Chains A and B, each alone.
Chain A
């Protein structure tokens, strides 16, 4: 579904983050992008979102070269990206308004399904962090996306809310057949959500470092889950130490 073909990207007067980097994401896959702060994982997401363009190489989504934000791509950010002057319902319907789509019952459906219909008339500062993030997810889903990009969406939430929302994403991926790219710096989250894990360490990234998560489970107490998390941790630590 997404093909990055020999892309090079750098911010002005900074060293490259990606250098002739190639990578593919298949349709319906859930990919976790794992790495420390400043490794370029958010930039990776913005490139796929069409909000940034590589200086060299091409990014194709559904065989079409990406030249800007795409209608069926949704972006969910850590700080929710909700507008403080709009109610939860108005925020959820924002994309429909921009695309001049009539506000059909889809927004009510997702408000209800994500459990935030009782706070739909409240402003973002009046609801909890978890409810804000659910609103951000609902805002994406009303646009019927085929690709959801998430940038550390749960990092500022408390543990039970975070785990709850991680499960919601896994369920949505399964039920709606969505392609999901989740950027995170938490190993457990990457293992929980990602069928594959792309590890980004020290830039510039030339070759993708991918870890397959074939035994993916949603049981956090499952032996496989725990052992994969610890394997991944020691693996990344080894790589990290080698780089440092």
Chain B
């Protein structure tokens, strides 16, 4: 096993150990021991918890898909057209640092409490991160590379698929990786509002309404798996799609 995987495994067991000791010391219902939580997770995941997990996963994956599809070509375009960059940069500069979670109530007011509003929220977070990174990447692309490719007979379409897009891929992956944590946090907040499925709803329901703490922790654990899983898949896809970065 690689040393990175071993380190991850060791860190996981250390967290579980601290959790176990904390639970044994406190002896409180609100901190059940890890084995009770894992048991609940294994029992609940194939039925109820799994449905919530899939609902949350679907929302994040759709958001990532649209964020990549819209933000990357837009970022490349801004990066390659100085005039457009000049016009849009002040807007991006103003909006980019605003924590997007504050838009949750605004989006709910405008778009209701359905799936669309939740997906839009995560989309906005990912969109700006990917947009800024791909724009900066496209701006910094060495002009002589573009010139030499043009001199080989590249058309606009060739330049996009052979130069701008592959040059932006690492930035897109970095954008996704940097935003996953925030996106999952916002997903939790978004799923607290009138929904039937989603891990945010499940955690809130089991913890605050049913006082079923092992289930609540199983929901938190599932949310962790969602975040870690997306992070892991992003890393894996980057290795497959950008092999030059790892060779």
Do A and B pair up? The answer is yes
**A→B interface (CB under 8 Å):** 46, 49, 51, 69, 71, 73-79, 81, 83-86, 94-95, 97-99, 122-123, 125-126, 136, 139, 143
A84 contacts B244, CB within 8 Å?
Answer: yes
Report which residue of B145, B148, B162, B166 has the largest number of chain A beta carbons within 10 angstroms of its beta carbon: B148
B2 within 8 A of A: no
A143 contacts B148, CB within 8 Å?
Answer: no
Kindly list 15 other residue pairs between chains A and B, CB separation below 8 angstroms, not including A51-B151, A85-B242: A51-B147, A74-B151, A75-B147, A75-B148, A77-B147, A77-B148, A79-B145, A81-B144, A83-B145, A85-B166, A85-B244, A94-B149, A94-B162, A95-B152, A125-B244
Which residues of chain B (148-171) have a CB below 8 Å from chain A? Answer: 148-155, 158, 162-163, 166-167, 169
Given A79-B142, A94-B162: A85 touches B152 (CB 8 Å cut-off): no
A46 to B150, CA, bound (A): 12
A98 to B153, CA, bound (A): 6
> 5 closest pairs, A vs B, by CB?
A81-B148, A95-B152, A75-B151, A85-B166, A98-B153
B244: A residues at CB distance < 8 A: 84-86, 123, 125
Given A94-B162, A98-B155: A83 touches B247 (CB 8 Å cut-off): no
A-B contact count (CB 8 A): 64
Q: Which residue of A lies closest to B241 (CB)?
A: A85
Given A81-B147, A83-B162, A125-B244: A94 touches B152 (CB 8 Å cut-off): yes
A86: B residues at CB distance < 8 A: 162, 244
**B→A interface (CB under 8 Å):** 142, 144-145, 147-155, 158, 162-163, 166-167, 169, 242, 244, 247
Q: Which residue of B lies closest to A136 (CB)?
A: B148
A98 contacts B163, CB within 8 Å?
Answer: no
A84 to B145, CA, bound (A): 10
A94: B residues at CB distance < 8 A: 149, 152, 162
A126: B residues at CB distance < 8 A: 247
B154 contacts A98, CB within 8 Å?
Answer: yes
List 12 interface pairs A-B (beta carbons < 8 Å), by A numbering.
A46-B147, A69-B150, A81-B145, A81-B149, A83-B149, A83-B162, A85-B167, A86-B162, A94-B162, A98-B153, A99-B152, A123-B244
B152: A residues at CB distance < 8 A: 94-95, 98-99, 139, 143
A42 to B244, CA, bound (A): 30
B166: A residues at CB distance < 8 A: 83, 85
A152 to B247, CA, bound (A): 29
A139 to B162, CA, bound (A): 15
A94 to B145, CA, bound (A): 13
A86 to B244, CA, bound (A): 8
A69 contacts B158, CB within 8 Å?
Answer: no
A98 to B161, CA, bound (A): 11
B162: A residues at CB distance < 8 A: 83, 86, 94, 97-98
A186 to B244, CA, bound (A): 34
B163 contacts A77, CB within 8 Å?
Answer: no
A136 to B152, CA, bound (A): 11
A163 to B81, CA, bound (A): 40
Given A85-B244, A98-B158: A71 touches B147 (CB 8 Å cut-off): no
Q: Within the complex, what minimum Cβ distance (angstroms) separates B36 from chain A?
A: 49
B142: A residues at CB distance < 8 A: 79
Q: Within the complex, what minimum Cβ distance (angstroms) separates A77 from chain B?
A: 5
A136 to B148, CA, bound (A): 10
A69 contacts B153, CB within 8 Å?
Answer: yes
Q: Which residue of B lies closest to A99 (CB)?
A: B153
Q: Within the complex, what minimum Cβ distance (angstroms) separates B143 from chain A?
A: 10
